[in-house]
Amino acid sequence: MKLLEKLARWFSVPVLTSQRIWFAFSVAAVADAFQLVMGPLGWVLLIDDVLDVVAMLLITLALGFHPLLLPTFIIEAIPVADMLPTWTGCTAMVVMLRKRAQSKPPLLPSKTIELAPAAPGKDLPANGSATPPPLKH
């Protein structure tokens, strides 16, 4: 049971604070800038791959796991695409989605209102039928 609890904690969504957001953006910007400066040399030396793993872990620790991080991680493995600021863009999207989700009030259980059945003969139209009279145009 300990393993499941640790796994659940890894995937839990922390409350966003300004420190967490700044940290995540800092990690993303440094990773993107370093990959841009290194260019093809970073890909050849596998520095980009190590940097991507570290960026993914640190951003996940700061913001919590989000499925948008996975395609970003895969895109970063493509040699030319890793020069785009994908970590920064992904971090911005995750922060936006997390803020939107945390700003909504929690759903409250709805109350069901049960209507009492009408007494026979009550609320019936004047003609005595159960259907209302036709509308006149």
Asked if residue 46 belongs to a domain, the reply is yes
In a domain, 65, yes or no: yes
Q: In the 3-class helix/strand/coil scheme, how is the chain assigned residue by residue?
A: CHHHHHHHHHCCCCCCCHHHHHHHHHHHHHHHHHHHHHCHHHHHCCHHHHHHHHHHHHHHHHHCCCCCHHHHHHHCCCCCHHHCCHHHHHHHHHHHHHHHHHHCCCCCCCCCCCCCCCCCCCCCCCCCCCCCCCCCC
Is there a domain that residue 49 lies in?
Answer: yes
- What is the predicted pLDDT for the residue at 39? 83
Evaluate whether residue 121 is within a structural domain.
Answer: no
Residue 49: which domain range?
A: 17-98
The whole-angstrom separation of Cα 87 and Cα 73 is 8
Task: Decide if 56 is inside a domain.
Answer: yes
pLDDT of 127 reads: 56
Q: How many CB atoms lie within 10 A of CB 20?
A: 18
* CA–CA dist 119, 41 (Å, integer): 84
pTM: 0.69
Please check whether residue 111 lies inside any domain of the structure. no
Q: Is residue 123 in a domain?
A: no
pLDDT of residue 112: 60
- Main-chain dihedrals φ then ψ at residue 135, nearest 5 degrees: -75, 145
Query: From the centroid of its chain, how far is CA 37?
Result: 30
- Say what the pLDDT of residue 125 is: 55
Looking at residue 10, what is its pLDDT? 67
Angle at 30 between CA 25 and CA 33, to 5 degrees: 120
Name residues of the chain where pLDDT drops below 70: 1, 10, 106-134, 137
Q: How many independent structural domains does the chain possess?
A: 1
Q: Is residue 39 part of a domain?
A: yes
